[in-house]
Structure 1
Amino acid sequence: MIHRPLAALAAVFVGHAALTTAHAQTLDKIARTGQIVVSYRESAVPFSYLLTPHKAVGFSVDVTEAIVDDVRKALRKPDLRTVYMPVTGQNRIPLLVDGSIDLECGSTTNTAARGKDVTFSINYFYAGTRLMTKRESQIGDYAGLAHKVVATVGGSTNEKVLRRQLDARHIDADVVLTKDYAEAMKDVVDGKAAALALDDVLLYGLRANASDPDTWEVVGETLQIEPYACMVRKDDPAFKRLVDATLTRLMKSGEFTRLYAKWFESPIPPRGANLTMPMSAALKANLIARSDRPAQ
């Protein structure tokens, strides 16, 4: 006979297991609710950023919309509603895990540590941490950060890589953490920080869309090549297969290359800035390999 406290505890575990299963079966959840909830970042140029207060655009937004189209076809629900929810580096994983969002495609690095909580799709970009600073600062590399303040986004892989680099080289710098890219950039613009440490592509995007791009430069060696991928909930192989199938279709058809050229090698809104960033060798290779291997 089970004592009441144990029975109550067992009920809690059963309820939690049921909730977890419901959240894991994303396609069932979408079909039941008649909507798919997808995320966007507000200032991750050119992956995902706000063009108007209520309209996000970007490379990963286009990828997300392609996945949503395939979800509509798979579920035979052409009128499936898409709900867009903003996320930050701190809440993107918790919101996915608890079922608030169903899919996160942005500038999220595929890591083994994150893979304990979520599942990653095929990698669709490769980046590395660098620094951006004002030209007048005369900071040319990480050593130039000594006795200065450097900003980065809290909870990002950039924070970990930056701290590791500073420790390894015994550089005494003050690392300030912000909630997102826009806030980190503002700290440098306002003089609260001497440099900004982020993935190189994000730095090029921020510089291209700055009011005075020529006053900024990206410096320092590239630290740790990192793959970006979409995140889905764990233990949901059916939804991962669908997301991977969409990416495979885009990569094999040439549509992925067209989208890359649109956002990385052409003028982009709102001011027609051009990152002029050719596709890396690592990404070209993964258009063929289509690996979901995490950062090493």
Structure 2
Amino acid sequence: MINRPFAALAALLVAHTAFTAAHAQTLDKIARSNEIVVSSRESAVPFSYLLTPHKAVGFSVDITEAIVDDVRRMLKRPDLRTRYIPVTGQNRIPLLVNGTYDLECGSTTNTAARGKDVAFSINFFYAGTRLMAKRASHIGGYADLAHKTVVTVAGSTNEKVLRRQLDTQHIDAEVVLAKDYGEALKTVADGRAAALALDDVLLYGMRANTGEPDTWVVAGEALQVEPYACMVRKDDPAFKRLVDGTLTHLMKSGEFARLYTRWFESPIPPRGANLDMPMSAALKRNLTVRSDLPVQ
């Protein structure tokens, strides 16, 4: 016979233990497990993308590794393990909040709304929403989407910005949502959408790695310039300070600029494509200001 009060109490204790583990201070959690769990994206070129089925590379991955090295030094754990897990636009915040992983440096926009659930580091990139389409489609701007289908990624800020632009200009276009960047690009490549709306740098990265970059065009004015930043759990100032400290050191030492040149102005794997994208004025300014302010 089950003792129901005891069973209920046991269930409550299990739930409380899980909650406590998920909301433990990050450095304590890492020290106990001797492992830091960080996120990666499958196709966010050149920030974080898979070079092999099990190896992510990119600008954000290099920043992540620099942060992990600083965690090792702070905890005096040279043997600290790093485990990468893939995330998407939909699950990156819930999985961080519930303790599944500890740090996200990808291509996530620092917004005031997201700041209610997570904390953001110093901004390390600035991007704006634009369109990418096949050159033969003659999509030159948002007005050309009238009576056509445009795809973007579910859970992204691009969806909100795109819908607002279409409403403001009274453009009758159908917006469809993909689960990730790869699926979004395939939707246009297969002819199921006329254009893809994403952050301009992601579009340049996709175009460079299609194998036929000259058949694609990035078009339209940049909508709402947005900062990218690393995500950490909210109300954990010690870990945010560490992450901000790493970014500050990279920016002041010149290593950040070298990483930028490597990933945005030089040939990158796997095909040796070059985004040929100079650093923006907003990002140059933030190498000195080092703001973590969100876009509203």
TM-score (norm 2): 0.94
Paired residue type of 1:47:
F
Do 1:151 and 1:184's aligned partners in 2 also have CA atoms closer than 8 Å? yes
* One-letter amino acid of the structure 2 residue matched with residue 114 of structure 1: R
Contact 1:148 1:193 (8 Å CA) reproduced: yes
Q: 2:200 corresponds to which residue? A: 200
Runs of 4+ off more than 2 Å:
11-24
- Write the letter of the residue equivalent to 2:63: V
Which sections of structure 1, spanning at least 5 residues, go unmatched?
Answer: none
Match in the other structure for 2:289 = 289
List per-residue Cα deviations over 1:33-90 (Å, max 9, x = no partner): 1100000000000000000011100000000000000000000000000000000000
Equivalent residue, structure 2, for 1:73: 73
What's the CA shift for 1:117?
Answer: 0.3
Distance 2:53 2:76 in 1: 31
TM-score by length of 1: 0.94
> 1:81-131, CA deviations, whole angstroms, 9 ceiling, x for partnerless residues?
000000000000000000000000000000000000000000000000000
What per-residue deviation string (whole Å, max 9, x for no partner) do you get for residues 251-292 of structure 1?
Answer: 000000000000000000000000000000000000000000
* Amino acid in the other structure paired with 1:214: D
Contact 1:24–1:233 under 8 Å retained in 2: no
Hey, what does 2:122 align to over in structure 1?
Answer: 122
Q: Name the structure 2 match of 1:280.
A: 280
2:49 maps to which residue?
A: 49
For residues 168 and 17 of structure 2, the distance between their equivalents in structure 1, rounded to whole angstroms, comes to 43
Structure 1 residue 20: deviation in Å? 4.6
**Structure 1 Cα separation of the partners of residues 12 and 176 of structure 2:** 40
Residue 51 of structure 2 aligns with an amino acid whose one-letter code is L
1:13 Cα offset (Å): 10
Number of the residue aligned with 2:270: 270
CA distance in 2, matches of 1:240, 1:51: 29
The number of equivalent residue pairs is: 290
Aligned pairs for 1:253-264 within 5 A: 253-264=253-264
- For 1:1-296, list aligned pairs within 5 A: 16=16, 19-20=19-20, 23-296=23-296
Query: SS of the residue aligned with 2:31?
Result: helix
Letter in 2 for 1:109: T
Structure 1 stretch 19-28 or stretch 120-129: which is displaced more?
19-28
How many Å apart are 1:138 and its aligned residue? 0.9
The Cα offsets for residues 218-260 of structure 1, whole Å up to 9 and x where unpaired, read as: 0000000000000000010000000000000000000000000
Task: Give the Cα–Cα distance (whole angstroms) in 2 for the partners of residues 261 and 13 of structure 1.
Answer: 51
Shift, 1:19, TM fit? 2.5
Contact 1:23 1:29 survives alignment (8 Å): no
Structure 2 Cα separation of the partners of residues 14 and 50 of structure 1: 36
Identity %: 80
Q: Is the 8 A contact 1:152 1:176 kept in 2?
A: yes
What amino acid sits opposite 1:193 in the alignment?
A
- C-alpha root-mean-square deviation of aligned residues, in Å? 1.8
Consecutive unaligned residues in structure 2, runs of 5 or more: none
Could you tell me how far apart the structure 1 residues matched to 2:39 and 2:177 are?
Answer: 22
Q: How many Å apart are 1:14 and its aligned residue?
A: 11
How far, CA to CA, are the matches of 1:24 and 1:67 in structure 2?
Answer: 19
- Contact 2:266/2:274 (8 A) holds in 1: yes
